[in-house]
Amino acid sequence: MIYYKSEDDIERIRESAEILSRAHSEIAAEIKPGVATRKLDALAESYIMDHGGVPSFKNYNGFPFSLCISLNENVVHGLPSEYELKEGDIVSIDCGVFYKGFHSDCAYTYPVGEVSIEIEALLKVTKESLYIGIEKAVAGNRVGDISNSIQTYVEKHGYSVVRELVGHGLGRGLHESPEVPNYGKRGRGAKLKPGLVIAIEPMINLGGKSIVQETDGWTIRTTDRMPSAHFEHTIAIFQDKTEILTTHKYLEEKICK
């Protein structure tokens, strides 16, 4: 069942998304060689709690942290640890905030210092594919229009789309209907109507599309151990426009060069 949101609901999600976007900027300022990923998790949790929110992921289905921190070949659901970031790493950070009864969700893959040209291109195309998908997220279109636009763009550049992991609706629940795959056919899937709030999140691999779950029970990585990138926004669909509720603007102002 798809839950459509009122304007008041969307305003609360917008407020949640503002806290989330600011939390990402706090994280971005600390991403550099030598920083333990556990420190990033603690930083995000403190910021969210200090601003009246609750980390959406912590204790969700037993997940023990506030951030999913996925390094290099890890796609999603990586666990913060004492691992210290190294020059040339990429680190995908996925975070959610629950505020005034509603969730928001946002992810960004950060380069650590200088990365290879190959990886830089992967990050660029994956991020671009997110906005290409959002362009198709308008009232009257269908989920498949979003999915197909992302798939077509990234495959044109020689990358692979993860099939088993998808975007989703969200609101009072962190994961609601409909699912929003990053591959598919135009004109298929749920119709996009005003009041729909969804998270669009391309997860794109440099190598093949196959993934496996690590023995920690959480981390998902590429089977071929090639790097993977992940970018995500929470968006709201209105009759005459689509609004991106989260923003990468704050974090991009803070990224360590």
Q: Where are the domains of the chain?
A: 7-254
CATH class of the domain whose range is 7-254: alpha beta
First to last CA, the chain: 44
For residues 7 and 164, what is the distance between their CA atoms, to the nearest angstrom?
A: 32
- Asked whether 112 and 92 are in contact (CB, 8 A), the reply is no
Could you tell me the pTM of the whole model? 0.96
Residue with the two structure tokens 């407020």: 15
For residue 120, which of 73, 88, 154 has the smallest C-alpha distance? 88
Q: How many CB atoms lie within 10 A of CB 120?
A: 13
Q: What is the pLDDT of residue 216?
A: 95
For residues 188 and 149, what is the distance between their CA atoms, to the nearest angstrom?
A: 12
For residues 77 and 164, what is the distance between their CA atoms, to the nearest angstrom?
A: 13
Express each pLDDT in 51-93 by its tens digit: 999 999 999 999 999 999 999 999 999 999 999 999 999 999 9
Q: What is the pLDDT of residue 256?
A: 52
Q: Which residues of the chain have pLDDT under 70?
A: 256-257
For residue 205, which of 139, 109, 68, 140 has the smallest C-alpha distance? 109
Q: What is the pLDDT of residue 52?
A: 98
